[in-house]
A and B are shown apart, each in its own frame.
Chain A
Amino acid sequence: MQLVLEKRAERSGAIALVSPLIAIGLTVVTMVILFAILGKNPLLALHAYFIAPLTDGYSLQEIAVKATPLVMIAIGLSLCYLANAWNIGAEGQFLMGAVAGSWIAVKTQGTDAGAWVLPAMLVLAAAAGALYALIPAICKVKFGASEILTSLMLVYVADLFLDYLVRGPWRDPNGFNFPTTAEFDPVATVPLLIEGGRLHLGSIIALLVVAAAAILLGRTIKGFEIRIVGAAPRAARFGGFNANHLIILTFAVSGALAGLAGIIEVAGPVGHLQPGISPGYGFTAIIVAFLGRLNPLGILIAGLFLALTFIGGEQAQIAMKIPLDVTKVFQGILLFYVLACDSLILYRFKLSFPNRQVARGTH
Chain B
Amino acid sequence: MELIEAIVLAVLAASTPLLIAATGELVTERSGVLNLGVEGMMIVGAACGFAGAWLTGSVFVGALFGIVAGTMMSLIFALMTLGLAVNQVATGLALTILGVGLSGLIGAGFVGERITPAVHLAIPGLTDIPLVGRVLFGEDGFVYVSIALVIGVWWFLYRTRAGLILRACGDNHVSAHALGYPVLRIRTFAVMFGGACAGLAGAYLPLAYTPFFIPGMTAGRGWIALALVVFSSWRPGRLVIGAYLFGAVTILQLHAQGWGIGIPSQFMSALPYLATVIVLVLLSRARSGGSTAPAALGTVFVPDR
Contacts and interface: CB of A to CB of B under 8 A. Distances in A.
A339 interface: yes
B90 interface: yes
A283 interface: yes
Interface in B250-305: 264, 266-267, 269-270, 273-274, 276-277, 280-281, 283-285, 287-288, 291, 296, 299-305
A150 interface: yes
B151 interface: no
A285 to B, nearest CB: 11
Interface residues of B, number: 59
B84 A148 contact: no
A139 interface: yes
A154 B91 contact: no
A332 B89 contact: no
B36 interface: yes
Contacts of A5: 83-85, 302
Nearest to A362: B302
Given A152-B223, A329-B105, A342 B94 contact: no
Interface string B73-98: 00010001001111101110111011
Contact of A161 (B108, B223, B266, B285): B266
A359 B84 contact: no
A343 B80 CA distance: 9
Contacts of B302: 5, 7, 347, 361-362
B247 to A, nearest CB: 17
B178 interface: yes
Given A88-B93, A335-B97, A357-B305, A156 B87 contact: no
A12 to B, nearest CB: 15
Interface stretch (A67-75, A120-128, A320-328): A320-328
B270 A157 contact: yes
B211 interface: no
A323 B104 contact: yes
A286 interface: yes
B154 to A, nearest CB: 24
A197 to B, nearest CB: 31
Contacts of B305: 4, 6, 352, 354, 357, 359
B29 to A, nearest CB: 12
Contacts, number: 174
B72 interface: no
Interface in A134-182: 135, 139, 142-146, 148-150, 152-154, 156-157, 160-161, 163-164, 167-168
Given A329-B98, A336-B94, A347-B302, A144 B284 contact: yes
Contacts of A86: 89
B80 A336 contact: yes
B86 A326 contact: no
A340 B89 contact: no
A152 B223 CA distance: 8
A283 B97 contact: yes
B86 A340 contact: yes
Contacts of A283: 93, 97
B90 A332 contact: no
A146 B280 contact: yes
Contacts of A150: 276-277, 280-281
Contact of B104 (A7, A154, A168, A325): A325
A339 B86 contact: yes
Given A145-B280, A336-B94, A154 B101 contact: no
A145 B278 CA distance: 9
A358 B280 CA distance: 39
A94 to B, nearest CB: 16
Interface string B194-223: 000000000000000000000000011001
24 contacts: A6-B305, A7-B302, A139-B284, A143-B284, A146-B280, A149-B227, A149-B276, A153-B220, A164-B266, A167-B266, A287-B94, A328-B97, A328-B104, A335-B90, A339-B90, A339-B94, A343-B84, A343-B85, A346-B85, A359-B174, A359-B178, A360-B174, A361-B304, A362-B302
The 6 closest A-B pairs by CB, nearest first: A332-B98, A328-B101, A325-B104, A329-B101, A164-B266, A335-B94
Interface of A: 4-7, 86, 88, 135, 139, 142-146, 148-150, 152-154, 156-157, 160-161, 163-164, 167-168, 283, 286-287, 290, 323-333, 335-336, 339-340, 342-343, 346-347, 352, 354, 356-363
Given A139-B281, A287-B97, 20 more contacts: A144-B291, A145-B281, A146-B227, A152-B223, A156-B273, A160-B266, A164-B267, A286-B93, A325-B101, A325-B108, A328-B100, A336-B80, A339-B90, A343-B84, A354-B305, A359-B177, A359-B305, A361-B177, A361-B304, A363-B299
